[in-house]
Amino acid sequence: MIKNKKGALEFSFTWIFAIIAGMFILFLAIYGVTKFMNMERNTQDAKTAMGIGVLTNPLESSFETTTRTMIGLPVETRIYTGCKNLSGFFGEQTIKVSQKTYNEWSTEGVNVSFPNKYIFSENPAEGKNFYLFSKPFELPFKVADLIYLTSTKDKYCFKNAPNNIKKEIENLIGLNPSANENFFTKDLDCPEGSINICFSGGNDCNIRVNVNSNYVEKDSKKMYYKGDALMYAAIFSNKNDYECQLDRLMKRTGQLSDIYRDKSTFVFEKTGCDFELDSRLVLLKNNAENLGNSENLNTIYSLAEDIARENDYGVCRLW
C-alpha cells in the first residue's frame, strides 16, 4: 500500500508538470489564434474600406450630371467616413469599416486615406447595400466631385422639395424603383421610420432645408450652403464633417486658382490671349483659404460669380 502511494505521488508530479506546461502552451496558442483572427478581421476591414474608396473612382463626372451606383457587401457593414483637414496640403478623406461576423461587430478597422475624395454620409452608415451618387462642386470652375453615400436601410423622404431637386431625385430613382430604394419624393410612398427632409417647414422633420437663407438644419445645427452639391452634402453628413470637407474643398479651390493663373500667363505668352482674371484669381485663392466656416460662403460665391461672368464672356475661356 505504501509502495502504491509513492507511485501515485511520483505520477502526480509528472502530471502536474505536464498540465502546467500544457496550459501555458494552450494559452499561448489561444492567444495567438485570437490575435491572428483579429488581425484577419482588421485586414478584411481595411481591404473593404480601400475597395469602397477605389470603387468611387468611376463617379468622377464630366458634365453636370448626377449618377448613382450601388455597392453590395457580403456581410452587414458599418462604414465610418471621416475628414482630416490638417493632414497633407489637401487634407484627407478617411474610410474605415466594421463588419458583423457571428452576430458581433468587429472593432473599427484601420483608417484608409484618400486625399482626392470628398464623401458625405451618416456616420456610420450601416447596412449591406449602399447607394453612391456624385455631383460636381464648382466655384466657379469645377473643384471636385462630391460623393454621397447612403445605406439602403436609411430611407430618405424629401418633403416639398423644389422642382429641380425633386426632378433630380426622381432621375436617380429611375422609372422602376428597386426594392432597395431609399429615396422618396412623394409623402404617400415614404415608409415608416424614414428620415424626413423638409424643404418648406412642416412637422415631424429630421432635417430642415431653408432654400431662401441657404442653410440645412440637422441635429439643431445649421450648415450653410450654396448650390445643390453642398446642399446634399449638408443633408447626408454632420456639421463637423461638413465644415471639415468644406475646408478641404477650399484648399483645392486655392490650388486650382494658382493653376489657372499660371495657365493664363502661359497661354498669354503663347497666343496673346488675355484672360484678365489674374488679380481676381488671387483674391479667390485668399478668400478660399481664409473662409473659416460655411457662414462666410456668400462672400466667396459673389466673387466666384463675378469671375464666372468674366470667363464666360471673355475672348478666350480659361476653363
Out of 79, 125, 132, 144, point to the residue binding another protein (CB under 8 A): 144
For the record, the C-alpha cell of 161 comes out as 422639395
For the record, the C-alpha cell of 145 comes out as 466631385
Q: Of 229, 255, 301, which Cα lies nearest the Cα of 309? A: 301
Out of 238, 255, 289, 306, point to the residue binding another protein (CB under 8 A): 255
Residue 129 in contact with another protein, rule: CB under 8 A: no
Per-residue x/- marks for another protein, 8-27, CB under 8 A?
Answer: --x--xx--xx--x---x--
Which among 98-106, 139-147, 239-247, 284-292 is the span making contact with another protein, rule CB under 8 A? 139-147
Out of 192, 271, 279, 313, point to the residue binding another protein (CB under 8 A): 271
φ/ψ (deg, to 5) at 100? -95, 115
Residue 87 in contact with another protein, rule: CB under 8 A: yes
Out of 119, 256, 288, 297, point to the residue binding another protein (CB under 8 A): 256
The Cα 249–Cα 235 span in angstroms is 17
Identity of the amino acid at 163: N
* Smallest separation (angstroms) from another protein to the CB of 102: 20
Residue 266 in contact with another protein, rule: CB under 8 A: yes
* Smallest separation (angstroms) from another protein to the CB of 202: 38
**Count of residues touching another protein (by CB under 8 A):** 59
Residue 146 in contact with another protein, rule: CB under 8 A: no
Residue 272 in contact with another protein, rule: CB under 8 A: yes
**Which 106-125 residues touch another protein, going by CB under 8 A?**
113-116
Query: Which is nearer to another protein, 134 or 196 (by Cβ)?
Result: 134
Out of 259, 290, 292, 298, point to the residue binding another protein (CB under 8 A): 259
Interface positions with another protein (CB under 8 A): 1-2, 5, 10, 13-14, 17-18, 21, 25, 28-29, 32, 36, 40, 43, 47, 50-51, 54-55, 57-58, 60-63, 87-90, 92, 113-116, 141-144, 252, 255-256, 258-260, 262-263, 266-267, 270-273, 315-319
